[in-house]
């Protein structure tokens, strides 16, 4: 998913991103966020060994057995995601440094990214940014939820396209209390070649603090690999705000 989004926003941020990557290490953060995360991953590889080209023997009789093999893998991890807010670009992109420390080894070194209120982001191409970090980056941009007007169903949509595929994301306001909004998110991402990912989940967003307080999403992806082989994976991600330096400073 990362390369599609990068290609779309590269034109927006390229003029200043070279400065961002070179200067982030020297600058001091203006805000510091910590999120607790948990992630569960399930992968299911299905292979059909009959019913395709090799499904019949020379006599025309069916090959014995079910003709289907199934292999599953599972994994879980939890830990913290740290975000340093470094500054704001002239195009309103928020410059952040994001890193992750997992208890079971799912970690990532700091990477500099630019995030937008439209959920677009761009990160240093040579750095690893994990899926759960990307899920958070989508929601850290300035004016999230304000870049498009709500329709009659309290809903707005973002659509991205590139030669490689499309991504359509729908947000719906399900309730609000003060500055806190309860949102539902539905996202469909498709790549040429048979890859599809569908994400559904819930977000608790603080419009005054301009950040998500909690995120819970489930993504199911499928890849058709040809010759009766398909791969289904499911990723469950939960993010919860643990600390915000601005909130801590305001309480003193």
pLDDT tens, residue by residue, 151-170: 999 999 999 999 999 999 99
Q: Give me 202's structure tokens.
A: 């819930």
At residue 35, the 3 state secondary structure works out as strand
Rounded-to-10 torsion of CA 180, 157, 216, 76: -150
**What is the value of pTM for the model shown?**
0.80
Q: Tell me the CATH architecture of domain 2-50+70-250.
A: Roll (2.30)
pLDDT tens, residue by residue, 103-133: 998 999 999 999 999 999 999 999 999 999 9
- Domain parsing of the chain, residue ranges: 2-50+70-250
Give the residue, 11 or 109, on which the prediction is more confident. Answer: 109
**87 membership: H or E segment, kind and range:** strand 68-88
- Answer yes or no: is pLDDT of 183 > 80: yes
Residue for token pair 């399930």 = 42
Residue for token pair 């994001």 = 98
**pLDDT of res. 44:** 79
- Answer yes or no: is pLDDT of 22 > 60: no
pLDDT tens, residue by residue, 37-63: 999 999 876 554 444 343 333 334 333
Q: Kindly report the CA angle at 119 between 118 and 120, in degrees rounded to 5?
A: 90
**pLDDT of res. 247:** 86
């Amino acid at each position: 998913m990362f390369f599609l989004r990068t290609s779309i926003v590269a034109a927006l941020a390229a003029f200043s991103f070279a400065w961002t990557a070179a200067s982030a290490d020297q600058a001091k953060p203006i805000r510091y966020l910590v999120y607790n995360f948990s992630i569960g991953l399930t992968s299911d590889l299905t292979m059909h060994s009959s019913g395709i080209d090799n499904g019949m023997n020379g006599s025309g009789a069916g090959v014995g057995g079910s003709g289907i093999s199934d292999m599953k893998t599972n994994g879980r991890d939890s830990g913290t995601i740290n975000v340093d807010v470094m500054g704001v670009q002239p195009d309103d992109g928020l410059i952040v440094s994001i890193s992750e420390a997992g208890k079971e080894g799912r970690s990532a070194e700091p990477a500099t990214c630019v995030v937008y209120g439209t959920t677009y982001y761009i990160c240093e191409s040579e750095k690893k940014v994990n899926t759960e970090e990307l899920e958070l980056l989508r929601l850290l941009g300035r004016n999230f939820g304000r870049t498009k007007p709500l329709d009659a169903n309290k809903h707005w949509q973002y659509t991205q396209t590139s030669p490689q595929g499309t991504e359509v994301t729908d947000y719906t306001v399900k309730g609000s209390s003060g500055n806190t909004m309860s949102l539902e998110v539905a996202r469909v991402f498709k790549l040429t070649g048979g890859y599809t990912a569908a994400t559904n989940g819930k977000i608790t967003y603080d419009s005054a603090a301009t950040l998500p307080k909690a995120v819970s999403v489930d993504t199911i992806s499928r890849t058709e690999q040809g010759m009766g082989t398909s791969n289904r994976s499911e990723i469950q991600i939960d993010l919860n705000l643990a600390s915000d330096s601005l909130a801590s400073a305001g309480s003193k």
